[in-house]
Structure 1
Amino acid sequence: MKGAKGLFNYLLIDNWKGDTGRLITVKNLQKTYKIIKPAEGRFATFKSLVRPQYEERRAVDGISFTINDGEIVGYIGQNGAGKSTTIKMLSGILVPTAGEVKVNGLTPHKDRREHLQNIGVVFGQKTSLWWDVPVIDSLNILKQMYQVEEGRFRKNLEMFTELLDLGPFLNQPVRQLSLGQRVRADLAAALMHDPKTLFLDEPTIGVDVVAKERLREFITEINKERGVSVLLTTHDVIDMEKLVDRVMVINAGHLIYDGDINGLRERYGTQRRMELRFEGDLPVVSLPEVTTEILEDGRLAVVFDQHKYMADEVIFHLRRSGSPIRDILIRDADIEQIVRDIYQEGKSEEEMKIF
């Protein structure tokens, strides 16, 4: 418990009162790391030890955005894109190389004590709880650290126990919990002091389907009932579709999209899929850049770029084949495929810097 005592002394803070304004404001934020450049030739390892050569890599490269009270924002990107680095700068763990960041009117790495009173953070692969003590003991320690009043603590504990189903494992040591149980306990711990802002870094990764759904319901409820703003990094497309109002996409340290999911589909999901059943023979499609596939049930799938063709144009072309159309199903671009395409194809420097 020595570690807990030291953390208590570090985080002990008075109640902070201040003007929130916009919840989060980020301007030209950068984070650059210096890494050792591998030496070449004979005695390469010795050279690296005696006279290392460094090169700079920008994990986050001049991003800007604002988040207002009550928003749930999804922050997505492939591994190494800069998501976790951004979260760590917003939470005050990392100091930016350049740029400005304000959360609740505070600079996270400078006003760390005041800042921590107003945020909650959950890293899906790391716990903020004490490994060898029961969950309830960890929550009581956090109560003392954040100076949470007894009545408020009991009210929060009751609410979180019900919404997150903590009861079966409140008295178990954290090391005995499943991943899903541990993440639920971490969420309760992050919100016990009623923060205004919640940073979630891959909270559902590796969690089973039932636990994921409970976590999503809890995040939605806490946002609706308490107005907690949430910045969520995730690889789970269902998280995005069920939780977020707005999506930001980061690629190689650049923010390449900031808007709603429909806008993401409109900008990147240009491919539409039409599945048709004909009364007679399947037609031969001769439209440029339109692809077809015969499905197992005899239907014809036609894929086209909605920026080049209207659906009516494709249907008119197919009707000219002479075979009457019995049924049509048009599918918009799948969000999972859109995100996968963004990751795999990448974007030019010019496009990256648009935002």
Structure 2
Amino acid sequence: MKQTAAQDIPVLVIDKVTKNYTKLQPKNNLKETLVHFIKPQKIITTALNDISLTVNKGEFVAYAGANGAGKSTTMKILSGILQPNSGNVRVLGLDPSLNRVTLMKKIGVLFGQRTELWWDQPIITSFEWKKTVWDIPNDVYRLNLEMITDLLDLGPLLNTFSRELSLGQRMRADLGMLLLHNPEVIFLDEPTLGLDVLAKRQMIAFLKELNAEKKTTILVTSHDMTDLEEMAQRIILLSQGNIIFDGNFQQLRDVRGSISEIHIEVTGTPPVMDSLKLLESSGNNHVYSMVDSSIPLNQLLRELSKIENLKNLEIRKTSIEDIIAALYRELRG
């Protein structure tokens, strides 16, 4: 029987996973509180609803959704912090809930505003502490320290106390620290949150290079869809604990049909055109989408040229954020 090659085995497997949270229902008055004390009433919230997905080695996957969609819950289940109520999870072939210590030596995790750096010590002290505690071989540590120092521009910061770093500097140092042990998979929860433009560009460029050069598998969440589109090749969209889309960004654009918006400024009422559908209006400014993305450009331009009292015309590529927002609006009905 033919053996399955290691690279053909999915790095992440989530199979029919459900995660519920239970909390006590708050009461409004003393009588309800006394009744509740004798017979507590609970509210069950479903964070993940029977979801399934796989991620292969070397994939860079964006994991997106509104607040409360289940993104952070998934990350915590994959890293062994939480356990699902039902379903199976495997990370590098291991069950995170049963093999958390072993798994932590193979993965890296970065949760937004949290840090593993020692607050009142230089950055290099935190790095050396990790080398000792995690028993990272000298050659691996030196090689990775050199790489992260160069690519994340940490040289001037290694002897700086963590409390003296800006948010962008600390995020770079945290990312460098989680890479010291050569993780095969990294989970990043809002890694660009609060970063200025320059720090964000540095973070994104480094992650893309890490994925391309070392084939590190990356699962990343962010509320900035533009960042996700720049970083990842695949996007998984969550809504109320359910996966509503799994594919690449072009496929996501195709779901919405038109990938362009036509912005028109015209005096009077908004024009009616066969090729375009009116999306919104504000005063003399109107936004349209194409009824069919296969309509030839020359046909569209002929229609636009017939508009009377046209003051301004602009064709823009629809932002990925607008596409996702429209998709969520449709789901809500």
Report the TM-score when normalising by structure 1: 0.81
Report the residue type matching 1:247 in the other structure.
I
Q: Is the 8 A contact 2:257 2:293 kept in 1?
A: no
1:291-310 correspondence to structure 2 within 5 Å:
303-307=288-292, 310=295
Q: Corresponding residue for 1:242?
A: 230
| Partner of residue 272 from structure 2, selected from 286, 306, 323 | 286
Across the two proteins, how many residue pairs are aligned to each other? 325
Q: Which amino acid aligns with 2:185?
A: T
Aligned partner (choices 216, 234, 255) of residue 243 of structure 2: 255
Contact persistence 1:19–1:104 (CA under 8 A)? no
Please say if residues 283 and 321 of structure 1, whose CA atoms lie closer than 8 Å, have aligned partners that are also in contact. Answer: no
**Counterparts of 1:255 and 1:230, CA distance in 2:** 18
2:118 matches 1:150 = no
Change (3 A) 1:318 1:220: closer
Counting only pairs closer than 5 Å after superposition, residues 336-355 of structure 1 correspond to structure 2 as 336-343=321-328, 345=329, 347=331
Distance 1:31 1:302, change over 3 A: closer
Aligned equivalents of 1:106, 1:71: Cα separation in 2? 18
Distance 1:286 1:90 in 2: 51
**Aligned-residue CA RMSD in angstroms?**
3.1
**Mapped partners of 2:17, 2:332: distance in 1:** 20
1:155-185 per-residue CA deviation (whole Å, 9 max, x = no partner) reads 1111101111112221222222211111111
Does structure 2 retain, via aligned residues, the 8 Å contact 1:269–1:338?
no
Per-residue Cα deviation, 1:225-274 (whole angstroms, up to 9, x for no partner): 11111000001123112110000110100010001111111113647423
Measured after TM superposition, the shift of residue 137 of structure 1 is 1.2
Tell me the distance in 1 between the aligned counterparts of 2:124 and 2:287.
57
Please list, as runs of the form range in 1=range in 2, the aligned pairs for 1:90-109 lying within 5 A after superposition: 90-109=78-97
Q: Unaligned stretches of 5+ in structure 2?
A: none
Unpaired runs of 5+ residues, structure 1, are 1-17, 350-355
Residue 203 in structure 1 maps to residue 187 in structure 2: no
- Matches of 1:129 and 1:50 in 2, distance apart? 46
The answer to whether the 8 A contact 1:271-1:306 is kept is no
Q: TM-score, normalised by structure 2?
A: 0.86
User: Which deviations, in whole Å up to 9, do the C-alpha atoms of 1:269-291 show, x marking residues without a partner?
Assistant: 6474235799xx99972347436
Q: Post-superposition shift, 1:333?
A: 2.0
Taking the aligned partners of 2:51 and 2:75, their CA distance within structure 1 comes to 13
The structure-2 alpha-carbon separation of the partners of 1:315 and 1:309, relative to structure 1 and needing over 3 Å to count, comes to farther
Contact 1:135-1:170 at 8 Å conserved across structures: yes
Task: Work out whether residues 253 and 259 of structure 2, in 8 Å CA contact, stay in contact via their aligned partners in 1.
Answer: no
Residue 128 of structure 1: SS of its match in structure 2?
coil
> Are the counterparts in 1 of residues 257 and 292 from structure 2 also a CA contact under 8 Å?
no
